[in-house]
Structure 1
Amino acid sequence: MGRPVVLMPGPMHPAVAEGLADHCELIRLWEESDPDAVLAARRDEIVAVATGGTLIDGAFLDRLPAVRLVASFGVGYDRIDATAAAERGVVVTNTPGVLDDEVADTALGLLLMTVRELPQAERYLREGKWQQSGSYPLTRATMHGRRMGILGLGRIGQAIADRVAPFGVSVAYHNRRRKDVGYRYYPSLVEMARDVDVLMIVIPGGDSTRHLVDAEVLKALGHEGIVINVARGSVVDEQALVDALRTNTILSAGLDVFEHEPEVHPDLLTLPNAVLLPHVGSATIPTRTAMANLVVDNLRNWLTHGTALTPVPESARLSG
């Protein structure tokens, strides 16, 4: 009997292919001259998929009836229809835990950059304005005493909460359900936005959270409010955010993610009260390697023992 066959629809971190080399036959679909023909010919042999962002929906899985595991690179899995997968007996895994600290560090750095206008101050220096016009103007905002509302108090949200405490920042949160933590819980996102001045977005993407942060939420946040998004761009109504920044409905925004990546709303690029990063939340060599290794571990464990290490909630009941 031959080795199990795993499909890789698009390029991934090289550690994934390296880690699977001795455990399976790996089909690198993007390298094939006729991908559709390969899928048709191998449809009954492919038992697992390793993906770094390819859309995996019900139609895709219907083309591969032997697949029983989709191993995703990243903590977010909004490009995978986990419900459709579960309905077909397919387990979906992601890579939680290994990137929490890195993303939380990025969130804190982005918050500091946004509150204190540090990128703007650096540009001021580089453009020679310090010598020409004197000191950079005093910033309106400071970290100490701010009130943060975390949208999505999961592992990363908790890590962010731990990091802001020494700055004298209070924490509240909005989830679908209350958690056993010492922070104030708001069942309503709008109500939380009214009571805080930093909205930290760490909630997964997908249809259920699309444009959850809309014009109403931004208006409730108010003119001293700051939006930080290290989750998914789809969670925020980007046009509403642009309008809120332009009209000073809120003070500023710090964004690591965007609604149509890598395209960025052109108005965001011109707004002086927006700090923008190119989705670098987990982008360090050690963290991305750890994520790749967890993809490999999930696949190896599934192929060897029939169980997944980190199944997502929608498919956890199928693991084991």
Structure 2
Amino acid sequence: MSDKEQLTAMGFDADRIEWALRATKRSGLQPALDHILANGDKAVPPPDEDDEEDDAPPADGAEAKSIKCSECGKVFRSSATASFHAEKSGHQEFEESTEEIKPLTEDEKKAKLEELRAKLAEKRAAASQEDAKAQKANEAIRRKAGQDTGRLKEEMKIKEAQKDVERKKQEKLEDARARAAIKAQIEADKRERAAKAAADKAAREGIAQPSAAQPAAPARPAAGIKSSDNPETRLQIRLSVGGAPLIKTFPSDSTLIDVAEFVASENISYSVDTINFATTFPRKSYSRDEMRKSLKDNGLTPSAVLMASQ
């Protein structure tokens, strides 16, 4: 098997093999192999740019057959192997030598080849271990990133749940405040109706009204008469379009249609045909059929608060 075939069998590129054979003047397998190893990180130059060995004969006129390191005494077959030695050892002093290096025997060549293969296998194993370490480190980074993402999502869920609880608490608080306001309004309406009834009765009977310094006590309903049987119904009507609420006292036998006509006459934003009434306490919306019923039949007597909307 030729030197080129053996180098090809080792897995080297054809261009790099040709370069090594040219540079070492085809002086054997070992010089070519040394050249490949020494110049493995360099680009292959064109054939006309190959470095030529300086084969000038030594001073005594004898033919130079090798290159010798003056610092350690090692003898090299070619300038390529001498350069490789210089790079590895740092030695700088070389001289031509007439000492001839015997070519490697077949057994030596095989041993060198096996040594090279072992070194290459060792390098590949080391590279494989480094790759495995890098992959393991990358996997650990990915797992940590996934855990961080999951933790962030969980924290966001907890925060959203807390916000939902606070929102519900606020809604309950606002609802309680609204009920309290409605209840207070109802009580104020009752007191106002009682005062008006007392004033009307005093006017009918010719009784003098109490002075401002001594306010009259709220009048009590006549014995045996229920509040729901009151002939008058006082309504406070709150408008969805905004503005001050409308307050008016209607006969208890008036219908919600009558109330709608009153609202439409007071605010042009409302139409009798499309207006809707509702109460918030208790919560109720009145249908078109109920609009035709009296205030008493709709349970609004003696007073109520209505919400008007279109």
TM-score strictly above 0.5: no
Task: State TM-score, norm by structure 2.
Answer: 0.18
* Higher normalized helix content (fraction of residues): 2
Task: State TM-score, norm by structure 1.
Answer: 0.17
Larger radius of gyration between Structure 1 and Structure 2 = 2
